[in-house]
Structure 1
Amino acid sequence: MTKLNSVSDAIIRSIESGALREGDRLPSEGELAAIHGVSVGTIQKALIRLTHSGLITREQGRGTFVSGTRVAPADVRYLRFRDEDGNELPSYVHARSVKRIKRKGPWSDFLEGDGYVRIERVINVGGRFDLYSEFWLREEDFAQLGGLDREALEKNLRELIGQRLSLPTLRVDQWIRFGPAPAIAARELGLDAESPAFIMEMRGYTLRDQPLYYQSVYAAPFTERLMIVREKSS
């Protein structure tokens, strides 16, 4: 594990265990460097990473604080990873926005219909890297879900649809490729506009093989060797 990952993991563990609570101020960069035995530059990179992931906030002239959002491993069973030592990396989901959209795209080709809702989320994997996710539903299906607060949006959306609409996900087709990411995904992942990103596209089907949802997941290049944890069938 790199020094950067080690520092990020240590701060995340402190938040998860309750040693650092919502609103708590973290030690200064110099103090953190001394605590972890690394350079101030490494601490700055770790704090930037955790800030981007929504786990902490940095306020000019005041310091760095544990974020006010709920910090707990999210229930994202279809994107789970282990590191080379076999340790499962927790995923932290942060809902960015929910938008109703009329324009067409691969989501409309699959879902059909006239209007769609796009749920944008950032999924941080073990404090090490981010995934940007766009989850598309038909507008009428989203309306039937009822009001969704932030906590609901940061849970497993497939299970939420199954529970509230009685529409289980029975099959998922997946494709992977490299290509330019949309501007918003590039911005969230810190990519240049034309830089290639890893792209995974998923199409979920429900009863009678009917289209249920469309999802795209984007990732910037990363060097770690990770194992994908397969979801167990019930």
Structure 2
Amino acid sequence: MTKLNSVSDAIIRSIESGALREGDRLPSEGELAAMHGVSVGTIQKALVRLTHSGLITREQGRGTFVSGTRVAPADVRYLRFRDEDGNELPSYVHARSVKRLKKKGPWADFLEGDGYVRIERVINVGGRFDLYSEFWLREDDFAQLGGLDREALEKNLRELIGQRLSLPTLRVDQWIRFGQAPAAAARELGLDADAPAFIMEMRGYTLRDQPLYYQSIYAAPFTERLMIVREKSS
């Protein structure tokens, strides 16, 4: 594990354990460098990474604070990873938008119907890199979910659909490719507009093999070697 990852993981563990709570001020960069035995430059990179993930906020002249948003790891079972040392990396989900659209695309070809709802979310993996998610449902199915607040949108959407609509996901087809990311995804991931992104497409099916949801996950290039954690069947 690199020094940068070690520092990031240590700060994340302090937040998860409650040693650092919402609104708490972190030690200064110099104090953190001494605590972790690394350079101030490494601390600065770690803090930038955690700021981007939404776990901390930095205020000019005041310091660095634990974010006011929830920082507990989300249950994202289909996108779980371990690093080379075998440590499972928690995922932190941040809802970005919910939009009703008539727009056609691969989601429409799969789901069929006339109207759709797109849920856009950013999934930060262990404070190390971001994934951008577009989760599509038929408009009628989304309406039956009832009102969804930010807390609900930042949980496991597959389980939410299963609980509220009694429509469990029986299987998921997964496809991968490289291609151009949507403008919103490119901005979140720091990609140039014409740069290729890694794309994973997932198609969820339910009773009698009927289409239930369509999801696209986008990622910018990253250098870490990660292991995918397989979801155990119940």
**Normalized against structure 1, the TM-score is what?**
0.96
CA apart distance, 1:40 = 2.2
Q: Distance in 2 between matches of 1:48 and 1:109?
A: 40
Q: Shift of the alpha carbon at 1:132?
A: 0.8
Unaligned runs of 5+ in 1: none
Q: Which residue of 1 aligns with 2:50?
A: 50
Q: Secondary structure at the match of 2:41?
A: helix
Shift of 1:61: 2.4
Superposition deviation, residue 222 in structure 1 = 1.1
Q: Distance in 2 between matches of 1:11 and 1:85?
A: 18
Quote how far apart the aligned CAs of 1:64 are.
1.4
Q: What SS is found at the alignment partner of 2:25?
A: coil
Deviations 1:39-74 (A, max 9, x none): 222222211111111111122222211111111111
Residue 103 of structure 1, CA deviation = 1.2
Give how far 1:6 is off. Answer: 0.9
1:118 alignment partner, SS class: strand
The 2-side partners of 1:61 and 1:181 are apart by 37
For residues 19 and 140 of structure 2, what CA distance do their matches in structure 1 show? 44
How far apart are residue 191 of structure 1 and its match? 1.4
- Quote the offset at 1:204 in angstroms: 0.5
Q: CA deviation at 1:167?
A: 0.7
Distance in 1 between residues matched to 2:66 and 2:102, nearest whole Å: 38
| 1:83 Cα deviation from its structure 2 partner | 1.4
| Higher alpha-carbon deviation: 39-48 or 176-185 | 39-48
CA distance in 2, matches of 1:49, 1:195: 22
Kindly indicate whether residue 136 of structure 2 is the aligned counterpart of residue 136 of structure 1. yes
Q: Distance in 1 between matches of 2:118 and 2:206?
A: 19
Instruction: State how many pairs are aligned.
Output: 234
- Find runs of 4+ consecutive structure 1 residues off by over 4 angstroms: none
Separation of aligned partners in 1, 2:92 and 2:54 = 9
Structure 2: gaps of 5 or more residues = none
Q: Spell out, residue by residue over 1:16-48, the C-alpha distance to the aligned partner (whole angstroms, 9 max, x if none).
A: 111110011112222222222222222222111
Give the fraction of aligned pairs with identical amino acids, expressed as a percent.
95
Q: Quote the Cα distance in structure 1 between the aligned partners of 2:211 and 2:204.
A: 6
Q: Deviations over 1:172-210 (max 9, x none)?
A: 111001122111111111112122211100011111111
Compute the RMSD of aligned alpha carbons: 1.2
Q: Secondary structure at the match of 2:233?
A: coil
